[in-house]
């Protein structure tokens, strides 16, 4: 007899966008195309999701995203976590949570909710360059101070733009000095960023500066923070770990909006990728993987992979991210930006590992190498 929790995939990650409304208007925000619709997810939609998802997976990872997810208010999360706890007992499903927020609405009550539910907090924050893309830096600084004061498990996500790309090492040192773990991502030209081309960086700039930063990080014996961007690059270069945006999201990753519509990814919430609505599904969220739009995406992904199959680095990137390819206009070809970057960084790390001086190495890099 088959087990409904293990007969397909055991694990699924779901980007939960309970609203795309936001109290900020950042210059790079890809959600600008939604016009920050103020609709909020009713609890009935959350209930439908739980009933149709929890019975079919051992582990469900929920990422609260938006818009600004804290605009939902405390009551929504109190009710939501109560429901997830109930589902965990009923279905034996394990739930994991995290939240991506600009931090401006973070208060004691939210901290209590997130601490009580073991929900790590990720703050969208660009350090000394925060004002360039974002707004209300003072409020975000206050949120970070509060998180540190309460010793909450948190990290930051920094978006790299034209103003910061030449200062990546300084940015890394900034977060080290504050003992805040961080991940950096290049700005992608989508949504509001399409109207602010001056914030863009080239693929050459990103690769060159990231490689400089990687070398600095790799030999930094005093590293005291998780620096996920370099950790991921090193792990992937070693062929370790599965990275969603390096081509393995299919069948393991979904996004849901405030109306209950399901999509393959939080960055692909367009009509052409709509997979169905949670309220319309019979009893099993996995039905969306057989929807025409999902099968079409799969076909294009496979075509992209076929074109990349002979590349030396194919086993490390699996032809890359669907959303990045889509933003550049053709799902059947890899994102030129990402492809260039991946080729440069993987080749560089291969070289670094051949010539590495093992006596002076970042403790996190060392741990990754030792576990290889």
What mask, x for binding other proteins by CB under 8 A, covers residues 57 to 76? Answer: -xx-x-x-x-----------
Q: Do residues 159 and 187 make contact, with C-beta atoms less than 8 angstroms apart?
A: yes
Residue 355 vs 371, nearer CB to other proteins: 371
Q: Is 291 in the site for other proteins (CB under 8 A)?
A: no
Taking each helix axis as running N to C, give the angle between helix 74-91 and helix 43-53, from 0 to 180 degrees, rounded to the nearest 10.
20
- Residue 164 preceded by cis peptide, ω within 30: no
The tokens 């090193």 sit on which residue? 234
**Which region, judged by CB under 8 A, interacts with other proteins, from 9-17, 33-41, 42-50, 271-279?**
9-17
Segment 182 to 241, residues that bind other proteins, using CB under 8 A: 183, 185, 222, 224-226, 228, 231-232, 235, 240-241
Rule CB under 8 A: choose which of 152, 298, 347, 353 binds other proteins: 298
Q: Which of residues 246-265 bind other proteins (CB under 8 A)?
A: 246-248, 250-252
| Residue span binding other proteins (CB under 8 A) among the ranges 68-76, 128-136, 203-211, 278-286 | 278-286
Of the pair 43, 152, the CB lying nearest other proteins is at: 152
Question: With contact defined as beta carbons under 8 Å apart, do 214 and 349 qualify?
Answer: yes
Residue 10 engages other proteins in binding (rule: CB under 8 A): yes
Phi, psi of 275 (to 5 degrees): -100, -10
Query: How far is the C-alpha of 109 from the C-alpha of 107, rounded, in Å?
Result: 5
Helix (H) or strand (E) holding 59: strand 59-64
Tell me if 140 sits within 8 A of 134, measured CB to CB: yes
CB of 143 to other proteins, least distance (A): 15
Binding of residue 313 to other proteins (CB under 8 A): no
Q: CA-to-CA distance for 42 and 222, rounded, in angstroms?
A: 47
Q: Counting contacts by CB under 8 A, is residue 165 touching other proteins?
A: no
Residue among 63 and 278 whose Cβ is closer to other proteins:
63
Task: Please identify which residue in 108, 198, 282, 357 interacts with other proteins, judged by CB under 8 A.
Answer: 282
71 phi, psi to nearest 5 deg? -65, -10
């Amino acid at each position: 007899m088959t087990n409904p929790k293990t007969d397909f995939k055991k694990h699924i990650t779901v980007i939960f966008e309970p609203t795309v409304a936001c109290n900020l208007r950042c210059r790079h925000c890809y959600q600008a195309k939604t016009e920050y619709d103020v609709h909020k997810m009713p609890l009935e939609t959350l209930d439908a999701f739980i009933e149709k998802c929890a019975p079919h997976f051992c582990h469900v990872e929920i990422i609260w995203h938006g818009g600004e997810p804290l605009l939902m208010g405390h009551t929504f999360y109190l009710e939501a976590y109560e429901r997830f706890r109930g589902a965990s007992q009923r279905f034996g499903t394990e739930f994991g949570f995290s939240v991506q927020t600009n931090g401006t609405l973070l208060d004691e009550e939210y901290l209590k909710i997130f601490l009580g539910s073991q929900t790590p907090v990720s703050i969208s924050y660009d350090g000394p360059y925060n004002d360039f893309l974002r707004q209300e830096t003072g409020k975000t600084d206050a949120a970070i101070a509060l998180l540190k004061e309460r010793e909450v498990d948190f990290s930051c996500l920094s978006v790299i733009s034209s103003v910061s790309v030449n200062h990546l090492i300084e940015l890394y040192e900034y977060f080290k000095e504050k003992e805040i773990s961080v991940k950096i991502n290049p700005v992608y030209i989508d949504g509001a960023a399409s109207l602010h081309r001056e914030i863009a960086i080239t693929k050459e700039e990103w690769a060159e500066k990231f490689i400089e930063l990687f070398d600095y990080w790799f030999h930094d014996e005093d590293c005291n923070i998780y620096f996920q961007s370099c950790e991921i690059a090193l792990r992937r270069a070693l062929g370790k770990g599965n990275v969603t945006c390096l081509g393995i999201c299919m069948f393991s990753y979904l996004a849901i909006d405030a109306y209950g519509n399901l999509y393959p990814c939080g960055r692909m919430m367009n009509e052409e990728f709509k997979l169905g609505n949670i309220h319309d599904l019979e009893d099993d969220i996995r039905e969306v993987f057989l929807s025409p739009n999902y099968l079409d995406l799969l076909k294009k992904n496979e075509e992209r992979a076929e074109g990349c199959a002979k590349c030396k680095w194919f086993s490390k990137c699996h032809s890359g991210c669907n959303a990045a390819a889509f933003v550049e206009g053709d799902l059947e070809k890899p994102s030129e930006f990402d492809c260039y970057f991946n080729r440069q960084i993987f080749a560089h790390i291969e070289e670094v590992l051949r010539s590495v001086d093992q006596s002076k190495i970042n403790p996190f890099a060392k741990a990754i190498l030792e576990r290889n």
